C-alpha cells in the first residue's frame, strides 16, 4: 500500500536524493517514487506545472481541442491533467521512468506513452508532428541535458510552440547549466529554427529543497524561468 504519511522534510529529501546520479539511477529512483509522487509533491506546493500551463495557454493561438501535445518528462501526468481542463485533448507522454508512465496511463488522457532516457536515448517523437511540446521541471543539470532542446524543436510542427521551465538554482553547476541553456536557446533563434515568444522569471517558482536553512519557520523559494518559443514556418 502507498505510504501517505511522508513529512515535508522527507519529500524534500526524496527530491534531492538522486543528485549526481546517472540517467538509469534517476529512472529507477522515480519508478520507486511513482506510486506516491503526486501526493508527496503537493506537500511542497509544487508550482512549475501550473505555471507553465498557464503561461502557454495565455499565448497559444491554435485550436486547443485539435492540438497535438508532446508532454516530455511527463511523470505521473500532471501536465495533461492540467491542460485538459483548458480544452486540450491529445497527449503523447515521454518519461525515463516506467513507473511514472504506468501512473500516467491511469489518467486515461494519453494516446501514447513512450519510455526514453533523455540525453542518452533520442527523444522518441516524430519530426514535425506536434503543435505543442512542453517540459516542466526537468531542465536541470541532474535530469535533462541542454542538448535535448534541439530534439524538442525537431518534434514541433512549423508554427507550433515549445514551452519549457527551468529552476534557477544558485550553485556552480546550476549557473553553468542555466548559461548553457540560454546560449542554446538564443543560438537556435539566430539559426532561424524558432522565434522567441516570451520569457518570464518567477520569483517563487518552487520551495528551496536543496539547502538547509537555519530559519525553519519561514519559506525559502527558488527562482525559475518560463520560456516560450514558436517554431519557424520555413
High-pLDDT (> 90) share of the chain, %: 64
pLDDT digit string (tens) for 62-88?
999 999 999 999 999 999 999 999 999
Whole-number pLDDT of residue 20: 67
Give the residue with greater pLDDT, 142 vs 153. Answer: 153
Would you say residue 162 lies in a domain? yes
Confidence category of residue 1, pLDDT binned at 50, 70, 90: very low
- The answer to whether position 46 is within a domain reads yes
**Distances from the Cα of 107 to the Cαs of 5, 67, 83, in angstroms?**
23, 19, 13
Identify the band that residue 222 occupies on the pLDDT scale cut at 50, 70 and 90: confident
Evaluate if residue 216 carries a pLDDT over 90: no
Which residues have CB under 8 Å from 193's CB, separation 6+? Answer: 150, 153, 231, 232
In a domain, 3, yes or no: no
| 2: in domain | no
CA-based nearest residue to 38, from 105, 103, 89: 103
Look over the chain and give the mean of its residue pLDDT values, rounded to a whole number. Answer: 89
**Mean pLDDT across the stretch 86-101?**
97
Question: Collapsing DSSP states into helix, strand and coil, what is residue 184?
Answer: helix
- Higher-confidence residue of 124 and 206: namely 124
Tracing cell 491529445 back to the chain, one arrives at: 90
Range of the domain at 43: 8-231
**Tens-place pLDDT, residues 156-203:** 999 999 999 998 877 778 789 999 999 999 999 999 999 999 999 988
94, 114, 174: which is closest to 139 by C-alpha?
174
The pLDDT value given to residue 217: 42
Domain count, the chain: 1
Give the C-alpha separation, 52 to 225, whole Å. 10
Flag the least confident range among 1-5, 56-60, 67-71, 72-76: 1-5
CA distances in angstroms from 152 to 6, 115, 117, 194, listed in the order given? 35, 15, 14, 11
Q: CATH code at 99?
A: 3.40.50.150
Q: pLDDT tens across 30-53, in order?
A: 999 999 998 888 877 778 899 999
- pLDDT-wise least confident of 94-103, 159-168, 172-181, 209-218: 209-218
> Within a domain: residue 63?
yes
DSSP 78-141: HHHHHHHTTT--EEEEEES-HHHHHHHHTTT-EEEEEE--BTTB-----TT-EEEEEE-S--ST
With cut-offs at 50, 70 and 90, classify the pLDDT of residue 219: low
In a domain, 129, yes or no: yes
- Beta-carbon contacts of residue 58 (< 8 Å; ≥ 6 apart): none
pLDDT, mean of residues 112-124: 95
- Residue 1, domain member (yes or no): no
Residue 61: inside a domain: yes
Q: How many CA atoms lie within 13 A of 120 on its CB side?
A: 13
> Cα Rg for the chain, rounded, in angstroms?
17
Amino acid at each position: 500500500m502507498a505510504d501517505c504519511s511522508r513529512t515535508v522534510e522527507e519529500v524534500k529529501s526524496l527530491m534531492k536524493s538522486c543528485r549526481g546520479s546517472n540517467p538509469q539511477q534517476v529512472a529507477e529512483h522515480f519508478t520507486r517514487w511513482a506510486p506516491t509522487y503526486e501526493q508527496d509533491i503537493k506537500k511542497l506546493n509544487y508550482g512549475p506545472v501550473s505555471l507553465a500551463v498557464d503561461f502557454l495557454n495565455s499565448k497559444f493561438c491554435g485550436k486547443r481541442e485539435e492540438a497535438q501535445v508532446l508532454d516530455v518528462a511527463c511523470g505521473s501526468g500532471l501536465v495533461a491533467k492540467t491542460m485538459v481542463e483548458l480544452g486540450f485533448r491529445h497527449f503523447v507522454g515521454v518519461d525515463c521512468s516506467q513507473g511514472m508512465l504506468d501512473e500516467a496511463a491511469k489518467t486515461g488522457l494519453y494516446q501514447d506513452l513512450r519510455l526514453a532516457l533523455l540525453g542518452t536515448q533520442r527523444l522518441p517523437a516524430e519530426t514535425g508532428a506536434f503543435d505543442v511540446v512542453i517540459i516542466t521541471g526537468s531542465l536541470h543539470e541532474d535530469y535533462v541535458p541542454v542538448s535535448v532542446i534541439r530534439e524538442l524543436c525537431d518534434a514541433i510542427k512549423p508554427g507550433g510552440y515549445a514551452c519549457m521551465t527551468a529552476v534557477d538554482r544558485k550553485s556552480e553547476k546550476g549557473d553553468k547549466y542555466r548559461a548553457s541553456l540560454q546560449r542554446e536557446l538564443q543560438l537556435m533563434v539566430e539559426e532561424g529554427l524558432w522565434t522567441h515568444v516570451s520569457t518570464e522569471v518567477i520569483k517563487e517558482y518552487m520551495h528551496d529543497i536543496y539547502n538547509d536553512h537555519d530559519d525553519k519557520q519561514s519559506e525559502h523559494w527558488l527562482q525559475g524561468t518560463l520560456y516560450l518559443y514558436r517554431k519557424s514556418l520555413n
